[in-house]
Amino acid sequence: METFVGKSIFQKLNVGPIFYFEKQENLVKRETIEDPEQEILRFQTAQKEAISQLEEIYEKAKLEVGELSASIFQVHSMMLLDEDFLDSIYHMIRENHVNAEFATGKTAENFYTMFSEMDDEYMQARAVDVKDIAERVISILQNKGTDFSFVTEPVILVAEDLAPSETVQMDKSKILGIVTRHGAANSHTAILARMMNIPALFGVDIQKSWHNHLAVVDGYEGRLTIDPSEEYLSKVEIKRQEEEQKKKLLSEMKGLETITKSGQKVHLYANIGRVSDVAQALLNDAEGIGLFRSEFLYLEASDYPTEEEQFQAYKRVAENMGGKRVIIRTLDIGADKQVDYFHLDKEENPALGYRAIRICLENIPLFKTQLRALLRASAFGTVAIMFPMIISVEEVRRAKEILEAVKTELKNLRIKYKDVEVGIMIETPAAVLISMELAKEVDFFSIGTNDLTQYLLALDRQNPKLDSFYNPHHKAVLTAIEMTVKSAHEQGIWVGICGELGSDLALTETFVKMGIDELSVSPSFIYALREKIRNID
Ligand code: PEP
Ligand code: MG
């Protein structure tokens, strides 16, 4: 039995076998092959498949985002036919007798360096594309994806790190825990683990040799125990029974009103990232959905989700919530939420970069597709639309203008939709400081304390080295929340919190005293919050 410590992301306990997940990019190994011509044929088959995938993607993208943005996929296809690129691969296979994966990866690396050193901006941008097409070919050669379909039994997933796009693709019922070497406590991978109710530890000195070994992931103590002794396992069992008991006691909160002793009402909503999370929201008696992170629909797809696909997803959430308010945030891609098919440039400071509403206001077809899907879904429940990362009144007006244009288009086509509430996230210092003016533009505010803390304290939420500095209890953060609540109420609109701070029981009373109208949290926190609020005078 051996114990390793880590940073706990979610307090829960689970026992199970370890699955060591090795990422694709680590798997390209140099191998010596016997028959170079046969290997070239193998490469050419993968190349053909990649081109046909890209053609399909191009056709879909053309409809979704317009010809101009979609043309990148044609560029990719052309690059896959580039003579210099192919010559280099064939030469390596013939001369060095290396496998096609290695030759493709090595050639891409060389072209990447060559392109990124060129003066021409267009050519510099092609550097990332070369990597992208090489990855596509390599994954076809290896017959691999990151859809986790290879995990068939419940396991504790161990990995160097996990991207949000990977985490969101996991089948929750097969994941008993997540343990990684890298990862920050405020990253979206961490948020997803909490939303999925999965114990997770980051910063653990993981080892590949653990694969298939039995382990205990203890999110209360921040410990991972490999090959636990019988004695330790019986202690774990007792702890798990206590956990169950506590859960049962809390579930007595089901159906009760969330109201303080003096009669102040607070709405308790759930944060979700996938349609299937609605089950947890309902199970935990959420009064609505306070934040549907719609970008996860994009993250789990390998291509732009169509209007119809999005409509079906939003409609299901709206219908399943049976008329309760469902706040759907428009696309908040960028920073740690990267989607390959968006082909966003690599940025020096992605958290301060091209993300969220900034992308939507520049890519109108993309934005309109989502708004059309949202409005169509509004006919099936109580949908509200929320714009993220707002810094100015102009942005809100522009976003609303586009929304109005989409409404007119739907009206002309006689497609049904309901009037929706429109809100914004308050998650930048700029938005807090002009919250008085912003409140005149919208129906509600939702405070995103995750980003707000990051920007107010100048601390990258993705950097694990800063976890101990990241202090959402900082006076600046609490003052900003108070200011926002005041501005909202002075303009007669409601205001909630949908960042992780909303579930911090140590601050619940503070928020209630400030007059917060709503708290939106991971479903498993709802009962504890209700109990807390019902005990406040
Ligand atoms: C936030 O920033 O607090 C928030 C809720 O949004 P996200 O965590 O997805 O950035
Ligand atoms: Mg945010």
DSSP string, 376-433: HHHTTSEEEEEE-S---HHHHHHHHHHHHHHHHHHHHTT------EEEEEE-SHHHHH
Instruction: Identify the DSSP state of 342.
Output: G
pLDDT at 121 over 80: no
Mutation to probe ligand 1, out of 194, 451, 453 (largest number of atoms < 8 A from CB): 451
What is the model's pLDDT at position 147? 55
CA 57 to CA 238: how far, in whole Å? 52
Ligand 1 closest atom vs CA 446: 5
Quick check: 371 and 406 in contact, CB under 8 A? yes
Say whether pLDDT at 60 is over 70.
no
User: Mean pLDDT score of the chain, rounded to an integer?
Assistant: 91
Q: For 231, phi and psi rounded to 5 degrees?
A: -60, -45
Residue spans of the domains in the chain: they are: 2-23+147-233, 36-141, 255-534
Task: Give the strand pairing for 518-521 and 382-387.
Answer: unpaired
Given a cut of 50, is residue 423 above it in pLDDT?
A: yes
The predicted structure's pLDDT at residue 184: 87
Q: Which atom of ligand 1 is nearest to the CA of 191?
A: 8
In this structure, which amino acid lies at residue 166? E
pLDDT over threshold 60, residue 65: no
- Asked if residue 149 has pLDDT above 80, the reply is no
155: phi then psi, degrees, rounded to nearest 5: -140, 165
For helices 83-96 and 100-116, the axis angle rounded to 10 degrees is 130
| Mean pLDDT within 514-523 | 97
CA of 357 to the centre of ligand 2 (A): 11
Q: What is the DSSP letter of 4?
A: E
Fold for the domain defined by 255-534:
TIM Barrel (3.20.20)
Q: pLDDT at position 56, please?
A: 79
Question: Tokens 């992780």 map to which residue?
Answer: 500
For this structure, is 182 an active site residue?
no
Range of lowest pLDDT (40-49, 223-232, 243-252): 243-252
Average pLDDT over every residue of 202-212: 95
pLDDT of residue 64: 53
Query: Is 70 exceeded by the pLDDT of residue 144?
Result: no
Pocket of ligand 1, candidates 337, 498, 522: which has the most ligand atoms within 8 Å of its Cβ, to mutate? 498
Active site includes 360? no
Cβ neighbors of 89 (< 8 A, separation 6 or more) are 43, 100, 103, 104, 107
Query: What average pLDDT does range 59-84 have in this prediction?
Result: 76
CA distance 437 to 58: 42
Q: Is the pLDDT of residue 126 over 60?
A: yes
Confidence of residue 148 (pLDDT cuts 50, 70, 90): low
Which of 8-22, 82-96, 148-162, 289-303 is least confident?
148-162
pLDDT 10s digits, 284-325: 999 999 999 999 999 988 889 999 999 999 999 999 999 999
What pLDDT is recorded for position 214?
97
Evaluate if residue 222 carries a pLDDT over 80: yes
Q: What dihedral angle (degrees, nearest 10) is formed by the CA atoms of 284, 296, 61, 142?
A: -120
**Whether pLDDT at 62 is above 90:** no
Q: Is the CB of 350 under 6 A from ligand 1?
A: no
pLDDT at 30 over 70: yes
Q: Separation of 10 CA from ligand 1 center, angstroms? A: 17
Question: Residue 72 pLDDT more than 80?
Answer: no
Residue-wise pLDDT tens digits, 157-186: 999 988 776 787 788 889 999 999 998 888
Task: Calculate mean pLDDT across residues 256-284.
Answer: 95
User: Which of 519 and 137 is assigned the larger pLDDT?
Assistant: 519
Distance from the alpha carbon of residue 457 to the mean position of ligand 1, in angstroms: 15
- φ, ψ of residue 162 in degrees (nearest 5): -135, 135
Rounded CA separation 130/142 (Å): 18
Report the share of the chain in percent with pLDDT over 90: 72
Q: Which is it for strands 444-447 and 494-497: parallel, antiparallel or unpaired?
A: parallel
Q: Report the pLDDT value the prediction gives residue 238, as an integer from 0 to 100.
A: 93
The topology (CATH level 3) of 36-141 is Enzyme I; Chain A, domain 2 (1.10.274)
End-to-end CA distance of the chain: 48
Mean pLDDT of 247-271: 94
User: What architecture does CATH give domain 2-23+147-233?
Assistant: 3-Layer(bba) Sandwich (3.50)
Compute the distance between CA of residue 77 and CA of residue 68 in angstroms, rounded to an integer. Answer: 15
Q: Which atom of ligand 1 lies at the shortest distance from residue 291's CA?
A: 5
Q: Which atom of ligand 1 is nearest to the CA of 332?
A: 9
CA distance 94 to 186: 48
Does ligand 1 have an atom closer than 6 angstroms to the CB of 295? Answer: no
Which residue's alpha carbon is at the smallest distance from atom 6 of ligand 1? 448
